[in-house]
Chains A and B, each alone.
Chain A
Amino acid sequence: MSALLVGPRVQPSVSARATRRTSWLATFLLLLGAIYCLVPVLWVVMAATKSRSELFSTFTFLPGSGLWANVSELSAYRDGVYWLWMLNSGLYAGVGALLSAAVSAVSGYALAKYSFPGRGAIFTVILAGVLMPPITLAVPQYLLLAKVDLAGSYWSVLLPSVLSPYGIYLARVYAAAAVPDEVLEAARVDGARDLRLFLSIALPMMRPGLVTIFLFQFVAIWNNFLLPYVMLADDTTFPVTVGLYSLLQQGASKPALYTLVITGALLSIIPLIALFLGLQRYWRVDLLSGAVKS
């Protein structure tokens, strides 16, 4: 936020020279970071194009000749079960992230804008939840859901993903900064009730924050392995992570399906990239265009 506030005050004509001067050290470090992040991706892309015999015998970063063969072999594997896993992943991540963003929006807004007894305590518990790695919760969650006979169902993966302490925390911080009390008061004076306040006033202002929460949660659910692995038994309900894992661990006697797993991994990141590219414009919306002078 502060960057957005400070930005326009700097005169473009004065700053042009200063910004054009390159900081070589910073550029170098950032380049190193970029290489560090991109090399594994490049590896996956290149490895996915290699046929079984090329995979370990040709130069690592040289493309192979088997991409289409790999994709069609993957699609044919057990009558296209891979695409079912992709659909499942889309369902878990899409529905889970939407519900999670909704829950985070309501709770974050309430925590930021209403003062009620226990608010501090609730927020502290949520903060503690942020620090707790979700991986440690998978087994207790499984035991609880098994008690109510939900383990193994789609709900068993969706429900634990809905409540995201990090999302609520982010929504609270965002609501506190992006929804000015003055606007809410003005609306109240005009006769808006609480629900209307939230839906018509606060929610649109919180949208960029909610998109962020949605994306974080989507990626987290899409990449989650342990929770669905513990929860699900039927291999037709697997998300793509667990499905690929079951491809990889088929016992020693069978030739490992590396090429299929690598191709599957490559295909499985395409929806994530598409989602980021599609939603990034919402991030740029300047919230503070309007409303109050600060």
Chain B
Amino acid sequence: MQRRTALTALALIGSLTLAACSGGGTPAADGPVELTMWSWASLQKVADLWNADHPDIKVTVQEQGGGDELVTKVITAAKAGDGPDLVQAEYQMIPTLVSNDVLADITEQGGGAKDKFTENVWKQVTLDGAVYAIPQDTAPLAFYYREDVFTQLGLKVPTTWTEFADVARQLKQKDPKRALTTFSSNDAGLFAGLTQQAGATWWSASGDTWKIAIDAEASRKVATFWGDLVAEGVIDNQPMYTPAWNAALNDGTQVAWVSAVWAPGVLTTSAPDTKGKWRMAKLPQWTAGSSATGSWGGSATGITAKAAKNGHAKAAAEFATWLNTDPKAVAALVKEAGVYPAATAAQMSGALTTPEFFPNQPDFYQQVAELAKGTAAASWGPNVNVAYNTFKDAFGKAATEKSSFPVALKSVQDSTVADMKKSGFKIEG
């Protein structure tokens, strides 16, 4: 984690050192337009399909590895007038990239793709009315549980959060060695998704004024709920993605996981012995009978300011639109990169085949498509990384000490507001 701090510092240094400098050479007028794309997924094979049909626009994918480091790298490259023409970006990073002048406004070139996506997905690639990327994949939240253990112990699959808490207590009573799940503080994305389900909007902008509502009613409800369960000791408080967590999922110490549609991939690695024993269900609801969910992850294809400067915005947007909406492209995308496509038509198409790890749930993706309809809107600001890092520290401490979660939430709000003020954003209230 120390490296991450160093990188944040570096991004700062980078942004201070140079405002802008000369762009690279202008490409020759004749010959095909050459575009490069940075991504963490193996997309070259998908791009090859495009290249075969489009001799005038040639796309090369350069795999970079994902995470915060990629954001730092893209920003640094943009400051030097360098970098790719297209970049894969997680939704929550789009405002950061826009405020660092990495992404170009492609409302004109890419805006036509709007009706291929649901409104809430499209919202995540627009900022103040302008379009900055084409959605690639989405990650609606669901409830994953060990079907065999639930049957064996006579537990009912929870449909509301109240039932969820009851099931956690029953399980603790029947088998104290097990826990329903854990509250993990090492990825704020899950918590953010859960607050979206409850109706939270952490960042919102009108004109040049931002409103930060992390410490607001909806998120407080979610924080209190999980904080109480941790304090009561009916769920675990250890972080996810550790060897201990892998072992707990594999040997059935933890029997459920609130996760996104990509969970089968993680379970394949983390809990290899439990193949065919998991089942996915709708996320528990705050109000019985409703069907809201949040997202944890998902990404879009952005077109960089460099591409726009070189006059390639149209070609790049054309490719990004094809990549994420064309049936052939999306099918390849699903096959090569294992994504859950954002395009609504693709979610219903036959491209998605039952995850290998879930042979017992052949209609997995039909169910996902059903619950994806209830995906709540998410909105992000220019300093998601600050909020997420504070979340890790504050909630990590609160989870270990079993202290107040709402207090931790307030500190996330405070540091996010302070950071934005420091960066010169106007904050409402």
A229-B73, A253-B262 known; A245-B65 Cβ under 8 A: yes
Known: A136-B13, A233-B62. A255 touches B22 (CB 8 A): no
What residue in chain A is nearest B297 (Cβ atoms)?
A252
Contact: B18 with A143, CB < 8 Å?
yes
Bitwise interface map of B from 131 to 157 toward A, beta carbon under 8 Å scored 1, else 0: 000000101000000000000000000
B266 within 8 A of A: yes
- Residues in A with CB closer than 8 Å to B40 are 246, 249-251
A250: chain B residues at CB < 8 Å are: 40-42, 65-66
Q: B77-96: which have CB < 8 Å to A?
A: 77, 79-84
Of A142, A245, A248, A256, most buried by chain B (CB within 10 Å of CB) is: A142
Are the C-beta atoms of A251 and B339 separated by less than 8 Å?
yes
Q: Are B76 and A230 in contact (CB under 8 A)?
A: yes
Known: A146-B80, A235-B62. A252 touches B266 (CB 8 A): yes
Residues of A within 8 A of B24 (CB): 149
Q: Which of A130-161 contact B (CB under 8 A)?
A: 135-136, 138-140, 142-143, 146-147, 149, 151-152
Q: How far is the CB of A96 from chain B (nearest CB, A)?
A: 21
- Name which residue of chain B comes closest to A252, CB basis: B262
Interface size class of A (residues with CB under 8 A): 35 or more
Closest residue on chain A to residue B15 by CB atoms = A139
The reply to whether A233 and B64 contact each other, CB–CB distance below 8 Å, is: yes
Q: Which residues of the other chain, B, contact A249 by a CB distance below 8 angstroms?
A: 40, 65-67, 69-70
Is B26 among interface residues, defined by CB-CB distance under 8 A?
no
**Which of A135, A140, A249, A255 gathers most chain B CB within 10 Å?**
A255
* A233-B80 in contact (CB<8A): no
A139 contacts which of B13, B41, B62, B250 (Cβ < 8 Å)?
Answer: B13
Most buried by B among A146, A229, A235: A146
Chain B residues within an 8 Å CB radius of A229: 69, 73
Chain B proximity of A292: nearest CB distance (Å) = 47
Interface segment among B46-54, B100-108, B111-119, B269-277: the answer is: B269-277
- Interface assignment of B14: CB less than 8 Å from any CB of chain A: yes
A116, chain B: closest CB distance, angstroms? 33
B360 interface residue per 8 A CB criterion:
no
- Interface residue? A52 (CB, 8 A): yes
Q: Smallest CB-CB separation from A51: which chain B residue?
A: B272
Q: Which residues from 285 to 342 on chain B have a C-beta closer than 8 Å to any C-beta of chain A?
A: 297, 299, 337-340
Which residue of A has the minimal Cβ distance to B61?
A: A235
- Nearest residue (CB) in B for A147 is B21
Q: Do residues A135 and B6 form an inter-chain contact, with CB atoms below 8 A?
A: yes
**CB-based contact B10/A248 at 8 Å:** no
Interfacial chain A residues near B139, Cβ < 8 Å: 252-253
Using A56-B250, A143-B80 as known contacts, say yes or no to A253 and B10 having CB atoms under 8 A apart.
Answer: no
Whole-angstrom distance between the alpha carbons of A60 and B243 in the complex? 10
Number of interface residues of B (CB under 8 A): 60
* Set of chain A residues within 8 Å of B262, measured between Cβ atoms: 251-253
Q: Which of B13, B36, B63 contacts A140 (CB 8 A)?
A: B13
Given the complex of chains A and B, what is the CA–CA distance between A254 and B273 in angstroms? 18
- Alpha-carbon distance between A236 and B3 when the two chains are bound, in angstroms: 24
B265 within 8 A of A: yes
Q: Is there contact, CB below 8 Å, between B82 and A139?
A: no
Residues in B with CB closer than 8 Å to A226 are: 3, 6-7, 10
Partner pick for B42 among A78, A234, A245, A256, CB 8 A cutoff: A78
A15 at the interface (CB under 8 A from B): no
Check B265 against A254 for contact (C-beta < 8 Å).
yes
> Do the beta carbons of B265 and A255 come within 8 Å of each other?
yes
**Chain A residue nearest to B266 in the complex (CB):** A252
Contact B21 A136 (CB under 8 A): no
- Is A294 engaged at the interface, CB distance under 8 Å to the other chain? no
Interface 1/0 per residue, A107-125 and B, CB below 8 Å: 0000000000000000000
The interface of chain B, by Cβ under 8 A from chain A, is 3, 6-7, 9-11, 13-14, 17-18, 21-22, 24-25, 36, 38, 40-42, 62-67, 69-70, 72-73, 76-77, 79-84, 137, 139, 243, 246-247, 250-251, 260-262, 265-266, 268-270, 272-273, 297, 299, 337-340
27 pairs, CB–CB < 8 Å, chain A vs chain B = A52-B269, A53-B273, A56-B269, A56-B270, A78-B42, A136-B9, A139-B10, A139-B76, A143-B79, A146-B21, A151-B80, A226-B3, A234-B62, A235-B63, A246-B64, A246-B65, A249-B40, A249-B65, A249-B70, A250-B40, A251-B40, A251-B41, A251-B337, A252-B265, A253-B261, A256-B269, A258-B269
Q: When A and B form their complex, which 6 residue pairs have the shortest distance between CB atoms, in order from nearest?
A: A146-B80, A246-B65, A253-B262, A53-B272, A249-B65, A56-B246
| Extra pairs beyond A135-B6, A245-B69, A254-B337 (9, CB < 8 Å) | A53-B273, A138-B10, A143-B18, A146-B21, A226-B6, A233-B62, A253-B265, A253-B337, A254-B338
